[in-house]
Structure 1
Amino acid sequence: MKGNLIRTTLALLVTASTVKAQSISVAGLPLYDKAALQSKEDWLLATTARKSAIYRTPEGYMALSNGLITRTFTLTPNGATIGLDNLVTNEALVRAVSPEAVLWINGHEIKAGGLTGQPIGNYLLPKWVPDMKADPLSLKLRSYTTAPIKARFEWNRRTAWSPQQLPWPPKGMEVTFTYQADATIMSSLSSDISRKVLFTDNFLSLSPKWDIIKGAASQHASFQNEGKAGEMQTAANSVLFAEQPLSPETKVIICKLNSGTDESNGYGAGIALQFPDGKSSKFHLAPGAKRFRVFHDSKSANFEGYDPGKSYFLRILFLPGRMACSVSEDGKTYTTLTELPVTSQPTHVRIGKTDPQGGRSERGEAGTKGRSKIEAVLILGAPEAVQQDLQFLSGLTVKVHYEIYDGIPLLSKWVSVTNNSKEQIIINNIKSEQLAVTEAESAVEHKQRWEMPPILAESDFAFGSMSSNAAQNACVDWQTDPSYTTQVNYNLKTPTVLVCMPKTGMGQEVATGASTESARIWELIFDSYDRERRGLSQKKLYRTIAPWVTENPIIMHVSSAADEPVKSAIDQSAEVGFEMVIMTFGSGFNIEDTTQQNLQRMKQLKQYAASKGVALGGYSLLASRSINKENDVVMPEGMKPAFGNSPCLQSEWAQSYFRKLYNFYEKTGQDLLEHDGSYPGDVCASTTHPGHRDLEDSRWKQYKTIQQFYQWCRGKGIYLNIPDWYFLSGGTKVAMGYRETNWSLPREQQEIIERQNIYDGTWEKTPSMGWMFVPLVQYHGGGAAATIEPLKEHLPHYEQRLANLFGAGVQACYRGPRLYDAPETKVLVKKWVDFYKKYRRVLDGDLIHLRRPDGRDYDGILHVDPQGKDKGLIMLYNPLTEPITRNIEVDLYYTGLKNQASIMGENGAAKKVTLKGTKLNLQVTIPANSQQWFVLRQ
């Protein structure tokens, strides 16, 4: 009975082979001197990056710092983060100690590192740390190692497409902490299955050990409605429960229940405890609010994730000085909602509907009558025997890795697990970060939108969006902290905990002797609330950890994949300086055609393109289609695929599809892939697909399949256009952000919208990270008024599009059969290609936003490159039908120029100008429906 009812979530096993405790010294590290390390130069303008290093603090802690940020660790009595400081703003961001990682293995929750005993959660003082204790539920720190940062995967860079040859791997330092089980864990916890059973009741009939207590509104109700023991049909705000004394041996109480049609909140069914001092606690379902609720020590807290249509196991575990409240849907894998301090053992337990405090009073209106059900109760004592399925723990090694990068306030973190036990293990999930951070604001009442702490968190487990923020939803989250009971928010809902954990789990099998890794998180510490500066910081992050995003080839989308049109497009591209031809969607290109004839033809076209100095590749659609019932994703009830249809990437069809992709590039040597409908994160409940077991491992394994392919492409130098945020897994470019049907609007409207899309898209993307679109032929309708062909008949519009795009450093998909159709068209295209290539480095640099396009007045952008010869390039556009003259003040701070500069316009004449500090007063006349540009130098 007890084995079927529940399995432990916190049980850990220690055998004779467990590593013994040892002292970990930081004596050999240089002394940390915060004042000496703090950089006086703006890191966004710095010519040399401040180096990363590992130090010892005067208190004997370890500090990982680069002069911009410092993460501080205590190594005894266990490993734990005790500080994250922004040295630029002198802010301390960590307010409380958390585990260094949390893992779920074979259904068991296992912590690595962490301390207990912090007196308050609002802030963390170094003097408190020596009095804090190692969490007995956690693996213990054994050792640490340091090394330079290693490349996550190989990158075969294309130097011609990127004027800045950024380092790979990035410069910086890695420190790795190793955690293993120790002998104290067994004395703290063991398996529920191995515990002594003190009482069990599956409510097939009502046990005589229960005393049934009814409130006034429940006098005509019964605890066994219609003969069903444990079923309660009574008013929402009424009392009806079963009570019995608790043995002093009690260590665990588990109750399985279903709220049914009950609409209670505080009166919802659950577990209530009575203590010797007359106080009570209650852990229960609140179906009216769709929450789990805990009342303890005169305070209540609510927890999300509750579905009124499901049965839940509520579990209370008594630990030294506290009790842990956990919840599970299956009675196997539990989620701990909160841990609460207790000073004595409870004397009685109440199961059912009590008042909100666990008592028997009734207040106010009775409410709507509903029916709820207690399905089972299990009361357990101390362990009697050791669980055999926990033998893996003695062979488990968990490593927590940190990287800190030179010259940028950026950290990375991930967890690796090695299984040296005798059996395969399943890693259900890994929480690689749980960082308790100081709140960015305090609000007493509920808020729809919170001001978040100054940390940008990015993970490589990201998909399902063309924007960073939305793509991170699968893994990165800002969560509330119910244990932080001294926060201002009345309902304890302030988002103060940064978490990195795949929300649908991993389900990763790890064989004996094998290892695996978690998702990675990068944490960028902002030093300002200014939107421009934050955007520049984010773009610096991507240039640092994904430098392939700086590759920015000039692209044509040829509309036919037949030999002659492709060769003609290659010839024209070579003539005007375009660098890449993509056989576009609808062109007839078929990467899944594995015939020798197709592979040979594609190889010959590649060779022809290479002879002209042009890269060649094509388009393939992945997830946004249906294959058949056997190979499509099987979605859980109530869910649909992100694109309406999708194959499972672990199905037989998908395995064949990826083999075809690898084979195509191996055999043809082509240079790029435009991968549309990339994997958006669909889960799959199939149990017959060859690549995954069931729902639990479906998303993780599908993602790893596409991630590994993209990383292989990086190693081969294959350029990747992917309309999804796959940059940290090897993606090179995403859509800048546009609505495809807008390219069917009249041409003159497209001009303004195009500049708006670029202006908006470059807040978080560099110009090289996003593509735009130019419909040389009709696309999504619009007819002749929307398209540019015949090109020579629309030269003013064609030039404006070229000026918009090359002037922004943004490459577009010029989609059609040709780039020019007359000598004058060719001259026009080459003029703007030459402009871009002449000023490529600064145009590919950071973009400062001057004035957003609105069609009413000028709009403008400023490119900056403080380390380049060309420090800045100003692009100003006039959308009006008459010339305009304007005095425009431009702040040149991010160019690095101050007091004086040289400015050169389109006429090529340079002149010196005096700046007011970093401010340039520019008087400019912009012709009608045209633009002006200016280059700035020292």
Structure 2
Amino acid sequence: MISRTASFTLGSLAFLLIAAVRAAEPVADWMVDPSPYKANITEDKSRGELTLENGLAKRVLRLAPNAATVTLQNLTSGEHLLRAVAPEARVTIDGVDYPVGGLTGQSIQNYLKEDWIKDLRPLPGAYRFTGWEELPVVKRLEWKKRPEWLAKDHPWPPLGKHVVMHYDPPAAPAKTLGGPVVYEEKFDAFSQPKPGWTITASKAHARSSFSNEGKSGEIMALPDTSVFAERPWPEKAVSVELKLDAGDDTHSNAWGPGLALSAADGTTVHFIIRPNQQVFETLAGLGGKFDRAKPVSLRASLRDGTVVMEAAQDAGTFETIATLPFAKTPATLRIGKVGRGGNGGDYDGGDINANLTRCHMLEIAVRGAEPVVAAKPRADLPRVAVHYELYDGIPLFSKWLTVTHAGEKPVRLNSFVADELKLAEVESSVNNAPVSEKYNLWVETDMAFGDMVPEYANPCMKIVSDPDYPTQVHYERQTPCLLRCQPPLGPDQEVSKSKPFETFRVFELLLDSTERERRSLARRKMYRVIAPWTQENPLMFHKVQSDPKTIREAIDQAAEVGFEMVIMSFGSGFNFESRDPAYQDRYKELADYGRSKGVVIGGYSLLASRGAGDPKDNTTGSPARYGVMPCLGTQWGRDYLDTIVNFSRRSGLGIFENDGSYPGDICCATNHPFHRGKEDSQWVMWRAITDQYRALRAEGVFLNVPDWYFLTGANKCGMGYRETNWSLPRAEQEIIERQNMYDGTWTRTQSMGWMFVPLSQYHGGGAAATIEPLKEHLPHYEARFANLLGYGVQACYRGPRLFDSPETKALVTKWVSFYKQHRDVLDNGDIIHLRRPNGRDWDGILHANPTGREKGLACLYNPLDEEITREIRLPLHYTGLRKSARISIDGAEPQAVSLTPAHEAVLTVKIPGGGRTFLLFTE
């Protein structure tokens, strides 16, 4: 007989065996085959929830009593990214902050339990959700595709689902509390505290008291010690307002004058002033400012499971300092010098020999609830719509706001937060805020500028500390765990009947791994979806002359060897700013000639780091990043942008290389026609430059922009090199070139970055650094093509010609043919990083293209003088190959090899000295 215990054990063993068999089965990977993962929208009316999910990512929005995201989950890993509920957005209208949606009442902010959600309440004063609709996924910009530069077609707009959530303005807030007074008291020199108060005074000094020399409410105590009065909380009370004076207590921090509410179970919230620092303190930390020379009014109001802390001076408007969870009914009220947590006691570091100080409780009023009246939306505020997109085949959401106004009087949108997420910490620390671990979430916006790397060109995305998170581990509550997406300045834009407003787009990519390559691959796949023009990857010749004769010669050379672009480079003499019709027509003839040969021509223009025609049209009042910057809110700035577009349209030029794009500079001028001052200058200039890029993108103009403008139309930026490196000896350039590409392709696809080849001298270095005469340096010229085209990266081949002899022409033709023969895998394949170049052993990469005929292409380079033989493990998981593969080495007959269970090919490879070996993988 088998006992119940034995049966349980055998059953467990059977379960483990089944699980092991399932684990050995192939697991679907969206990075290899994204096709099964389609975006869906479902509404569960019984739960009052709207869900956007595609099998990879899920976002759940609670719809009542207001709308808020309650789930953000990676369905591949199962990870929940949220620890608490936040507003869906925020807007500041005419100087007043308003949450958009949002729920409150969560008892703690460390995590969010499913059974808490049903009890959450509307966030006070927030915009109110009124309904949702599904709309088609929209184009952010028009894209005239250039299929001759694309290895495959990419859908635009991307495939997916689009939801719009509509919000009405909140009701007008009461300027003063209107509930009935259930208790009030004024403290003065002629009375004692009313009956019902219990006095607690520090024993650190014999004169510690709540009534000094018969003056009720005048507290005498040492700095950082406690003296307070406590009484029962009146029945049906919902708010307390205390007016106090810091007096000569200019030192206290730990036990400051203020109030505290305490529940029967001991849960306490406090609201005090710190006279020494002149800031307010609550459980959320420090905030706000006050003048200790004037009386301060503190207000604590119980609203929907929270306590709202507000403060005012000089009979001014109350401003919110903090909103904290507090779902309990207070048992007692304390006023006086109460400490952190609202308790009594003495600061351990207090000096009992210090001078006594005074502070004054002046008056208190406790009120009941105001009469319930139907709330009506304010007519003087705009409406807000929150847009969400979820795309097919990738765990990626997009989000943005539109603001419309039907009122007669325009309003000013001072600032906005397009998304706010209370993220579950990936690490925590009691002391210094953690910075080493990364969230499994990549967020960027299309308002980007100032760098060639997205981590530094993404000023609108910040992960900051959460002031409403009192139970975090960090002692000063500084854990970075609150994501906010908002402009660094402004936008300070007018919204009216005829002038609606649209924010930037936020893109949120949910990552399913902490492994660097997989995280990077997800980001690169994101750009293929939301910025597919970046996959245009033409071969570019940078011509150092611009006269018609040599441009025709350059077009002829490019056509003969298969190059697709001729760019009149910096220093060529080409003037993109010319408005002379005859000058523009001269280049129209050249552009027409180039098209007849299958070659597109274009030119270079500098914007940042040069002045406008008149210094008054430059940015003022704030240092420009590159020393000087024309303000794009001036007529000169708009004329410059329009001239480039009009020149391109008239002449048919197909490339615009905008060196020194707008880097995020600020202008404080108040007399420029297209911006008001500092607060709106950054938004206006960013919109101006991106409107230009959008206009050119719609014309099919290729955009080389040395800055992170990909999401607003740019094709390429620098791969991340230092220009003076191309003045080094030729042999050193070869290794540095591969390092730059290896490093640069962690943050972008290979088609998104350009490199540089100094055919003629660039910066310096003389004959040792340049390739001219080309026929005298054929091995080096070949090495550069093998490096660049092996990576699928295009360079600015800058000089007077592409070839200077039949041998040189044959070499260029050979490598261009190689690139075009394998363009599908070289452009569409994602780079897997094998080994970074170090000059001491082999280095290389693998292109993985699971949807192509050529599944993979490994490029292995040998920086040493002698041939080397190495056993190399090639990870083929992302190629889609599983049990076996056919491998061709340097074009030889393919050979079949078996793969390991980890989808690796283990090969012994010979790489010639100073050369390279290419391995092609097929099924």
What is the TM-score normalised by the length of structure 2? 0.83
Aligned residue among 551, 558, 562 for 1:577: 562
Q: 1:316: Cα distance to partner?
A: 5.3
Are the aligned partners of 1:635 and 1:641 in contact in 2 as well (CA < 8 Å)? no
Equivalent residue letter for 2:627: G
Superposed CA deviations along residues 74-120 of structure 1, whole A, max 9, x for unmatched, are: 21222111111211112222221111111111111112211122222
1:174 aligns with 2:162: yes
Q: 1:249: Cα distance to partner?
A: 10
Q: 1:314: Cα distance to partner?
A: 9.8
Are the aligned partners of 1:437 and 1:496 in contact in 2 as well (CA < 8 Å)? yes
Do the aligned partners of residues 114 and 885 (structure 1) sit closer, same or farther apart at CA in structure 2, a change above 3 Å counting? same
Once the two structures are overlaid, the 10-residue window that deviates more, 606-615 or 860-869, is 606-615
* d(CA) in 1 for partners of 2:848, 2:261: 67
Structure 2, unmatched stretches of 5+, are: 1-25, 182-187, 193-200, 207-220, 371-375
1:867 aligns with 2:851: yes
Are the aligned partners of 1:355 and 1:361 in contact in 2 as well (CA < 8 Å)? no
Aligned residue among 46, 66, 84 for 2:72: 84
* d(CA) in 1 for partners of 2:448, 2:296: 32
Are the aligned partners of 1:66 and 1:406 in contact in 2 as well (CA < 8 Å)? yes
Are the aligned partners of 2:238 and 2:301 in contact in 1 as well (CA < 8 Å)? no
**2:281 counterpart SS class:** strand
Once the two structures are overlaid, the 10-residue window that deviates more, 162-171 or 58-67, is 58-67
* Alignment of structure 1 residues 196-235 onto 2, 5 Å: none
**2:457 counterpart SS class:** helix
- State the percentage of identical aligned residues: 42
**1:889 counterpart SS class:** strand
Superposed CA deviations along residues 753-794 of structure 1, whole A, max 9, x for unmatched, are: 100110011012110011101111111211111111111111
Once the two structures are overlaid, the 10-residue window that deviates more, 697-706 or 270-279, is 270-279
Equivalent residue number for residue 3 of structure 1: none
* d(CA) in 1 for partners of 2:834, 2:238: 71
Do the aligned partners of residues 597 and 494 (structure 1) sit closer, same or farther apart at CA in structure 2, a change above 3 Å counting? same
* Alignment of structure 1 residues 711-860 onto 2, 5 Å: 711-844=694-827, 845-860=829-844
Equivalent residue letter for 1:71: R
Structure 1, unmatched stretches of 5+, are: 1-38, 198-206, 220-234, 385-389
Do the aligned partners of residues 124 and 931 (structure 1) sit closer, same or farther apart at CA in structure 2, a change above 3 Å counting? same
* Alignment of structure 1 residues 886-901 onto 2, 5 Å: 886-901=870-885
Equivalent residue letter for 1:443: S
Equivalent residue letter for 2:893: A
Q: CA RMSD in A?
A: 4.4
Do the aligned partners of residues 799 and 285 (structure 1) sit closer, same or farther apart at CA in structure 2, a change above 3 Å counting? farther
1:48 aligns with 2:31: no
* d(CA) in 2 for partners of 1:496, 1:354: 27
* d(CA) in 1 for partners of 2:585, 2:778: 39
* Alignment of structure 1 residues 470-485 onto 2, 5 Å: 470-472=456-458, 474-485=459-470
* Alignment of structure 1 residues 558-707 onto 2, 5 Å: 558-627=543-612, 628-636=614-622, 640-707=623-690
Once the two structures are overlaid, the 10-residue window that deviates more, 676-685 or 905-914, is 905-914
Do the aligned partners of residues 332 and 432 (structure 1) sit closer, same or farther apart at CA in structure 2, a change above 3 Å counting? farther
Equivalent residue number for residue 15 of structure 1: none
Equivalent residue letter for 1:503: P
1:459 aligns with 2:445: yes
Do the aligned partners of residues 195 and 547 (structure 1) sit closer, same or farther apart at CA in structure 2, a change above 3 Å counting? farther
Are the aligned partners of 1:280 and 1:359 in contact in 2 as well (CA < 8 Å)? no
1:555 aligns with 2:520: no
Superposed CA deviations along residues 340-379 of structure 1, whole A, max 9, x for unmatched, are: 638559978779x999969896763779x9xxxx9xx999
Aligned residue among 105, 110, 124 for 1:122: 110
Are the aligned partners of 2:886 and 2:895 in contact in 1 as well (CA < 8 Å)? yes
Equivalent residue letter for 1:523: E
* d(CA) in 1 for partners of 2:313, 2:709: 33
Q: 1:622: Cα distance to partner?
A: 1.2
Do the aligned partners of residues 313 and 208 (structure 1) sit closer, same or farther apart at CA in structure 2, a change above 3 Å counting? closer
* d(CA) in 1 for partners of 2:54, 2:295: 48
Aligned residue among 523, 526, 541 for 2:511: 526
Are the aligned partners of 2:460 and 2:486 in contact in 1 as well (CA < 8 Å)? yes
* Alignment of structure 1 residues 346-495 onto 2, 5 Å: 364=349, 393=379, 396-447=382-433, 449-472=435-458, 474-495=459-480
1:937 aligns with 2:914: no
Superposed CA deviations along residues 203-254 of structure 1, whole A, max 9, x for unmatched, are: xxxx99999xx999999xxxxxxxxxxxxxxx99679999999999977789
Equivalent residue number for residue 138 of structure 2: 150
1:63 aligns with 2:48: no
* Alignment of structure 1 residues 246-285 onto 2, 5 Å: 266=254, 272-273=258-259, 281-284=270-273
Aligned residue among 86, 92, 95 for 1:98: 86
Equivalent residue letter for 1:97: V
Equivalent residue number for residue 203 of structure 1: none
* Alignment of structure 1 residues 896-907 onto 2, 5 Å: 896-907=880-891
Equivalent residue letter for 1:656: D
* d(CA) in 2 for partners of 1:61, 1:580: 52
Superposed CA deviations along residues 442-482 of structure 1, whole A, max 9, x for unmatched, are: 3333245242321111111111111111111x211112223
Equivalent residue number for residue 9 of structure 2: none
Q: 1:418: Cα distance to partner?
A: 0.9
**1:602 counterpart SS class:** helix
* d(CA) in 2 for partners of 1:691, 1:613: 41
**2:626 counterpart SS class:** coil
Are the aligned partners of 2:308 and 2:320 in contact in 1 as well (CA < 8 Å)? no
Are the aligned partners of 2:859 and 2:919 in contact in 1 as well (CA < 8 Å)? yes
Equivalent residue number for residue 216 of structure 2: none
Do the aligned partners of residues 821 and 336 (structure 1) sit closer, same or farther apart at CA in structure 2, a change above 3 Å counting? farther
Q: 1:714: Cα distance to partner?
A: 1.2
1:881 aligns with 2:865: yes
Are the aligned partners of 2:790 and 2:819 in contact in 1 as well (CA < 8 Å)? yes
Equivalent residue number for residue 139 of structure 1: 127
**2:497 counterpart SS class:** coil
Equivalent residue letter for 1:86: N
Are the aligned partners of 2:141 and 2:712 in contact in 1 as well (CA < 8 Å)? no
Q: 1:916: Cα distance to partner?
A: 2.2
**1:831 counterpart SS class:** helix
Do the aligned partners of residues 902 and 357 (structure 1) sit closer, same or farther apart at CA in structure 2, a change above 3 Å counting? same
Equivalent residue letter for 2:484: V
Superposed CA deviations along residues 49-94 of structure 1, whole A, max 9, x for unmatched, are: 4211112457452211111111112212221111112111122222
Aligned length: 859
**1:760 counterpart SS class:** helix
* d(CA) in 1 for partners of 2:179, 2:573: 66
Larger Rg: 2
* d(CA) in 1 for partners of 2:919, 2:869: 15
Superposed CA deviations along residues 568-604 of structure 1, whole A, max 9, x for unmatched, are: 2211111111111111111111111111222122222
Once the two structures are overlaid, the 10-residue window that deviates more, 71-80 or 243-252, is 243-252
* d(CA) in 2 for partners of 1:447, 1:706: 37
Do the aligned partners of residues 281 and 914 (structure 1) sit closer, same or farther apart at CA in structure 2, a change above 3 Å counting? closer
Q: 1:395: Cα distance to partner?
A: 5.8
Equivalent residue number for residue 26 of structure 1: none
Equivalent residue number for residue 539 of structure 1: 524
Are the aligned partners of 2:239 and 2:300 in contact in 1 as well (CA < 8 Å)? no
Are the aligned partners of 2:638 and 2:688 in contact in 1 as well (CA < 8 Å)? no
* d(CA) in 2 for partners of 1:920, 1:651: 60
Q: 1:141: Cα distance to partner?
A: 1.4
Equivalent residue letter for 1:479: V
**1:553 counterpart SS class:** coil
Are the aligned partners of 1:162 and 1:552 in contact in 2 as well (CA < 8 Å)? yes
Are the aligned partners of 1:284 and 1:314 in contact in 2 as well (CA < 8 Å)? no
